[in-house]
Amino acid sequence: MTGLRILWARLCDPFARRRREAAFREEIEAHLEMGIENHIARGLSRKDATAAARREFGAVEPMKETYRDQRGLPWLDSWVQDARFAFRLLTRERAFALAAVTTLALGIGTTTTVFSIVNVMAFRGLPVDNADNVVELSIRDRNARTVAGHRVSFAVFESWRDRAKTLAGVAAFHVRRSTIRDDRGDAGRVRATHISVNAFRLLGDAPIRGRDFREADAEPAAEPVVVIGHRLWSNRYGSAEDVIGHRLIVDGEPSTIVGVMAKGVRFPGHTDLWRVLSAQPTESSSLRVFGRLASSASLGQAQAELEGLRASSDHAAHPHERRATAHLFTGAFRGEPMFIALVGAMAFVLLIACGNVACLLLARASRRAQEIRIRHYLGGTWWRLIRQLLIESSLVAVTAGVLGFAGSVLGLKLFANAISAIDLPYWLIWTIDVRVFTFAALISILSVFLFGLAPALHISRAGGSQASMSKNRRWMDGLIASELALALTLLASAGFMMKSFVALYRADHIVDTEKLGTYRVALPEDRYDSPQARRAFTRSLDRRLSDAASVDAVGFASSLPFAGAPWREASVGGRGPAFKASVVAISDHYFDTLGVAVLQGRAFGPVDGTPGHASTIVNQRFAELWLADDSIGQRLDVNGVSTTIIGVAPTVRQQFNQELDPVIYVPFRSEPSATAAWFVRATSSLESVSALIRSEVTALDPELPVFGAITMEELSRQSRWMHRVFGAVFTSFALVALVLASLGLSAVVAYAVRQQLTDFAVRRAFGARPRDISILLARRVVPLLAVGCGVGLIGALGVGRLLQGLLVQTTPTDIGALSAVTAVLVAAGALACWLPTREALHVDPATSLREE
């Protein structure tokens, strides 16, 4: 207790120093005054009394010193002193402080931004209690590393649910879109999730109105019930309390709303409506399963048990090629190349920033070697001197940390805005949390040691001697070369992404997006169960829309361009190798509506797709890959059905891959799908068209929803989001890295110039021309750039390989991209060297030597 009290009193001391000092002085003066008066009372003169009182008191100053030593904590005192000194120093050397803080703030800001993204994707997990024991259970290929896995059959799910002991509960779901209709407004299209009745309980989510699903709801004879999401509740029902018990027809099935979930509960992603999952044959192999780990079990144990249960209940083919896996939801993205690239880029930027500040401090330490040596001779211990350097770096780091953290809040906001339209799992909520703050704090502290301790240790060993100067130089050269290499690697990743983005952009812009809107209409399969019925509907809607004055052109297709399409096996001429291609069923005016002209042959006409006229159109990419010169009239087998190629269309991609994808078009009338994408080009504005299509669809069938309204421009933009967003992310990283590396290089050259100024002056005095001086400096800088570029290019190849799956018309060894980024780096390096070199070239020999 007493010890604590003393510590507290001492800790508080520095903060009340001035007041206490004054009080103490007053106390001493009072003491002396009383002594003097006492002596005067005994008959001494004032002068003698003063002398006597002072004599009795003893030496005042040493006593005060002892007193002060006891009062505060000497070490705390000296820390405060050092901090004040460091602050004064930094405000004096504004250029240095600014460079160091900027560098580190950029580094911490970028790194923390990425971390906050990574945090949301890989650490935070589902927005439920105890999210860390929620595991996703799946069956995968033996070597599958990515998210896409094989879904689980209902039988396997049941065996896991009923028999797994390593799991505290197992639930399943599958997601689809459903049409809803009732007496409250237009028919709607929502994302509906079929979930097992225990799912909400397992997640710990309870409805805010009504009730959760019950076991009885899953009985085959049970009346169909649904739980709706908060969004649907407020948008469609105006948050009305009487919604419980309301009748809602979901995909033609009359159901009762029994519950409303809280805002933000949209498990497993953007779901507005939940239905009861039951063992229907159509759902047999499309389940996704999750569970909570029992407190005593590990992931590995769970996996082993699940695999045993799967093997005994799943009699499907390929038992040896698949296995059960259990993994954390938060692990979903961890193996993704983009994720790894992000984390890598984050580390690179931080390394560059630290390297840079280390260089700045080293350069400065060399300049301060004199001061430090003197302080050492005057009795400053090395510890005290190192501490001084550490305190200086802490000041820089704390300032930079605050700025960087603020920047990362902004950065995450920008990122969230950039991807707001993208359909990502709902549990990705782009906010900052304590973990992000801790991260920022930690890297700030880490950077203090990284860039503060290295030069400090270095000085303590070498004591600022001449030998240490050249050692400094080697350190700085190494740091700068590494920085250049890292910067080049980042530049290359940005280059790859940008090149891919441009490739996609150019490819997509063969579609004329001007006033072109797309809408989706889904025909319920119960009432439109025959191809004839679906054909009839699309024909009527096509005619009605084409006749409207506000419509320029109308087309429709089974899939939207850029948004994926089913694959089929195809082979040319009934022989040759089979290959996969996207297949899209299109209307006769599809290409006209998109504004692309068929290159060879013709577009579909009214006869194509009728019996005996199995025609196909392929895109140019397909023709390049699989067809010889004369494409038209060749036989093409699609999933075993023989067709004739009647035309070649320009390449409008359905998905992205390393190359634009080959597409086979078939006439819509031969394969009328239930859900179709409609393309409408307006004569004046798209708004009137949106209203028109809704009213025309309602006129044909009031129970049909029109959904997914989006302009073609936006659709194509969204399809490139990955390249756009991550291209931008990598580009900003690369720019930060480039700026930082250039700053570092510039600092190193400036340092070299300053050290050798006298040398240069002597050389100039003996007749060296500016060119000779340039050559001298170049000898120092060129190897740095060369090593940086060399190592950087190796890194670039690695990054290219990592990102390969995302690159479009770009290879990891893409000469164009690599030489472009190398040129950028060299140019930036040259600029960084030029500024400080000017000083060296214009040095006046006489002035410089006189200064010496």
Number of residues near other proteins (by CB under 8 A): 27
In angstroms, rounded to a whole number, what is the distance separating the alpha carbons of residues 753 and 742?
Answer: 16
Nearest to other proteins of 20, 717 (CB atom): 20
**Single residue of 11, 15, 48, 66 touching other proteins by CB under 8 A:** 66
Residue 248 is which amino acid? L
Q: Are 175 and 271 within 8 A, CB to CB? A: yes
Q: Which two tokens stand for residue 4?
A: 């604590």
Q: Is 56 in the site for other proteins (CB under 8 A)?
A: yes
Q: Is 5 in the site for other proteins (CB under 8 A)?
A: yes
Which part of the chain contacts other proteins (CB under 8 A), choosing from 61-69, 422-430, 642-650, 710-718? 61-69
CB of 30 to other proteins, least distance (A): 4
Tokens 């060129």 belong to 782
Does an H or E element contain 522, and which?
A: strand 516-522
Q: Is 525 in the site for other proteins (CB under 8 A)?
A: no
Nearest to other proteins of 53, 821 (CB atom): 53
In angstroms, rounded to a whole number, what is the distance separating the alpha carbons of residues 237 and 188?
Answer: 13
In angstroms, rounded to a whole number, what is the distance separating the alpha carbons of residues 98 and 100?
Answer: 5
Which part of the chain contacts other proteins (CB under 8 A), choosing from 66-74, 112-120, 165-173, 590-598? 66-74
**Single residue of 70, 81, 370, 819 touching other proteins by CB under 8 A:** 70
In angstroms, rounded to a whole number, what is the distance separating the alpha carbons of residues 100 and 91?
Answer: 12
The count of other CB atoms within 10 Å of the CB of residue 60 is 12
Site map for other proteins, 25-54, x if CB under 8 A?
A: -xxx-xx-xxx-xx----------------
Nearest to other proteins of 61, 526 (CB atom): 61
CB of 74 to other proteins, least distance (A): 14
In angstroms, rounded to a whole number, what is the distance separating the alpha carbons of residues 440 and 401?
Answer: 7
Restricted to residues 458-517, the positions that interact with other proteins (CB under 8 A) are: none
Nearest to other proteins of 7, 827 (CB atom): 7
CB of 36 to other proteins, least distance (A): 10
Nearest to other proteins of 33, 514 (CB atom): 33
CB of 115 to other proteins, least distance (A): 45
Nearest to other proteins of 20, 535 (CB atom): 20
Q: Are 356 and 483 within 8 A, CB to CB? A: yes
CB of 75 to other proteins, least distance (A): 17
Nearest to other proteins of 57, 75 (CB atom): 57
E strands, 587-674, in order = 600-601, 615-619, 635-638, 641-649, 663-667
Q: Are 273 and 250 within 8 A, CB to CB? A: yes
Which part of the chain contacts other proteins (CB under 8 A), choosing from 22-30, 104-112, 191-199, 789-797? 22-30
Output the CA torsion 732→734→737→743 (10° steps): -90
Phi first, then psi: what are they for 334, rounded to 5°?
-60, -30
**Single residue of 19, 59, 94, 549 touching other proteins by CB under 8 A:** 59
**Single residue of 15, 22, 67, 759 touching other proteins by CB under 8 A:** 67
Comparing CA positions, the residue from 397, 488, 401, 469 lying closest to residue 436 is: 401
Nearest to other proteins of 68, 177 (CB atom): 68
In angstroms, rounded to a whole number, what is the distance separating the alpha carbons of residues 607 and 42?
Answer: 135
Nearest to other proteins of 10, 184 (CB atom): 10
Dihedral class, residue 264 (left if φ above 0, else alpha if ψ from -120 to 50, else beta): left
Q: Which two tokens stand for residue 646?
A: 């009647």
CB of 57 to other proteins, least distance (A): 5
Phi first, then psi: what are they for 115, rounded to 5°?
-60, -40
Q: Is 23 in the site for other proteins (CB under 8 A)?
A: yes
Nearest to other proteins of 14, 337 (CB atom): 14
What SS3 string covers 161-230?
A: HHHCCCEEEEEEEEEEEEEEECCCCCCEEEEEEEECCCHHHHHCCCCCEECCCCHHHHCCCCCCEEEECH
Nearest to other proteins of 40, 849 (CB atom): 40
CB of 20 to other proteins, least distance (A): 10
Nearest to other proteins of 76, 823 (CB atom): 76
Nearest to other proteins of 1, 815 (CB atom): 1
Task: Name, in order, each residue with C-beta under 8 angstroms of 178's C-beta and a sequence gap of 6 or more.
Answer: 189, 190, 191, 192, 250, 251, 273, 275
Nearest to other proteins of 3, 611 (CB atom): 3
Restricted to residues 738-777, the positions that interact with other proteins (CB under 8 A) are: none
CB of 82 to other proteins, least distance (A): 25
Which part of the chain contacts other proteins (CB under 8 A), choosing from 57-65, 83-91, 544-552, 727-735? 57-65
Q: Are 682 and 530 within 8 A, CB to CB? A: no
Dihedral class, residue 270 (left if φ above 0, else alpha if ψ from -120 to 50, else beta): left
CB of 33 to other proteins, least distance (A): 6
Nearest to other proteins of 54, 150 (CB atom): 54
CB of 73 to other proteins, least distance (A): 11
CB of 48 to other proteins, least distance (A): 17
Comparing CA positions, the residue from 206, 242, 475 lying closest to residue 366 is: 475
CB of 11 to other proteins, least distance (A): 11
Does an H or E element contain 61, and which?
A: helix 60-71
Nearest to other proteins of 30, 206 (CB atom): 30
CB of 71 to other proteins, least distance (A): 6
Tokens 């259990």 belong to 326
Task: Name, in order, each residue with C-beta under 8 angstroms of 457's C-beta and a sequence gap of 6 or more.
Answer: 386
CB of 78 to other proteins, least distance (A): 20
Restricted to residues 774-803, the positions that interact with other proteins (CB under 8 A) are: none
**Single residue of 11, 45, 57, 597 touching other proteins by CB under 8 A:** 57
From the number of C-beta atoms within 10 Å of its C-beta (0-12, 13-18, 19+), residue 15 rates as exposed
317 Cα distance to chain centroid: 38
Which part of the chain contacts other proteins (CB under 8 A), choosing from 6-14, 233-241, 262-270, 842-850? 6-14
Q: Is 22 in the site for other proteins (CB under 8 A)?
A: no
CB of 35 to other proteins, least distance (A): 6
Nearest to other proteins of 24, 475 (CB atom): 24
What SS3 string covers 773-828?
A: HHHHHHHHHHHHHHHHHHHHHHHHHHHHHHHHHHCCCCCCCCHHHHHHHHHHHHHH
CB of 62 to other proteins, least distance (A): 8
Site map for other proteins, 71-110, x if CB under 8 A?
A: x---------------------------------------
Return residues touching other proteins (CB under 8 A): 2, 5-6, 9-10, 23-24, 26-28, 30-31, 33-35, 37-38, 56-60, 63, 66-67, 70-71
